[in-house]
Amino acid sequence: MVNWYPVFWANLLNWRKQYRRFFISGLIRPFFYLMIFDLGIGRRIPLTEGDYLHFMVPGLLTLIIVNHSFSDVVAWFTLRKNYFRILDFYLLSPNSVWSFLLGNTLSSVLKSFLGAGLLLLVTSFFAVYLKLSLPFFLTIAALTFIFASLAVIVSLLCKSERDTVTFSTLVITPMTFLCGTFFPLERLPLLLQKIAWCSPVTPGVYALRSLAWGDNCSYWIGALILLWTVATFSLAGYLLAREES
């Protein structure tokens, strides 16, 4: 996996054509989320500690990570696999499939970091300040690895773009809204709470929220995130290697 940087730089060169849209949406979308949720919902949700915006921002950050990792990567792979039909040419390049996968994932990590930076810039206007640390950024990178790898898995298993849209509608969208992102998970029925903990979003949100508040992340939550990271990345690499053969 030492030759991941050609794929990484190729993605960045391609991304620079749309960086204006990235920065504009990265500033406007969090602003509207913060304003609407604070005015419409936040003041009706009593919390035992802290205000609603400090509770919501880590959840909104998770939503941004999913958008910059899963949505972008699944669109990239689906188009090149089903429409342009050039994914095989990428896989037949001198680089290994693991380098190819790592390069695509690391470019998504960079986008997630930039998206997080834009979110922090917007939240400063709402007097919401998070405590940043190395584990905080490592958690962002791990979540990006999880959802970028999941995007590769979905795009390789689905036969058409409609299948990926269906998966996003039935799995990703409920996952991003019902896993403790915008309201406490304890408000859900017990069965839905157990289902939510089967998603990588839930430990990610809890980890980011604890670290953003200056608390220590639970070891078992960190182990759960690491398990999701290794499992999804390994499965994505295996499917790419099978696609190559």
As a whole number, mean pLDDT of residues 4-29 equals 76
The segment with the largest mean pLDDT, out of 14-28, 113-127, 194-208, is 194-208
Q: Coil, strand or helix: which one is 216?
A: coil
Which amino acid appears at position 34 of this protein?
L
Question: Is the pLDDT score of 29 beyond 80?
Answer: yes
Task: State the pLDDT confidence band at 25, using cuts at 50, 70 and 90.
Answer: confident
Q: What percent of the chain has pLDDT over 70?
A: 92
Question: Is the pLDDT score of 214 beyond 90?
Answer: no
Compute the distance between CA of residue 121 and CA of residue 83 in angstroms, rounded to an integer.
Answer: 38
Q: What is the pLDDT of residue 42?
A: 54
Integer angstrom CA distances of residue 162 from 13, 82, 159: 28, 11, 8
Mean confidence (pLDDT) of the chain: 85
Q: Which residues of 154-171 are buried (b: 16+ CB within 10 A; e: fewer)?
A: bbbebeebeebeebbeee
Q: What is the pLDDT of residue 14?
A: 72
Q: Which of 15-24, 45-54, 184-193 has the lowest mean pLDDT?
A: 45-54
Q: What is the per-residue DSSP string for 142-158?
A: HHHHHHHHHHHHHHHH-
pLDDT tens-digit series, residues 144-170: 999 999 999 999 998 888 889 899 989
Question: Is the pLDDT score of 245 beyond 70?
Answer: no
Which amino acid appears at position 3 of this protein?
N
Compute the distance between CA of residue 178 and CA of residue 199 in angstroms, rounded to an integer.
Answer: 10
Q: What is the pLDDT of residue 152?
A: 93
Q: Which of 50-59, 175-184, 197-206, 208-217 has the lowest mean pLDDT?
A: 50-59
As a whole number, mean pLDDT of residues 130-144 equals 93
3-state SS, 187-202, equals HCCHHHHHHHCCCCHH
Q: What is the pLDDT of residue 21?
A: 78
Task: State the pLDDT confidence band at 44, using cuts at 50, 70 and 90.
Answer: low
Interacting residues of 222 by C-beta distance below 8 A, sequence separation 6+: 207
54 contacts 146 by C-beta, under 8 angstroms: no
What count of other Cβ atoms lies within 10 Å of the Cβ of residue 13? 9
As a whole number, mean pLDDT of residues 90-103 equals 83
106 contacts 4 by C-beta, under 8 angstroms: yes
Token reading at 143: 């979540």
Q: What is the pLDDT of residue 87?
A: 80
Give the residue among 92, 62, 233 at the shortest CA–CA distance from 151.
Answer: 233
The better pLDDT of the pair 178, 230 is held by 230
121 contacts 27 by C-beta, under 8 angstroms: yes
80 contacts 156 by C-beta, under 8 angstroms: no
Q: Coil, strand or helix: which one is 126?
A: coil
Task: State the pLDDT confidence band at 41, using cuts at 50, 70 and 90.
Answer: low
Q: Which residue has the tokens 């157990």?
A: 194
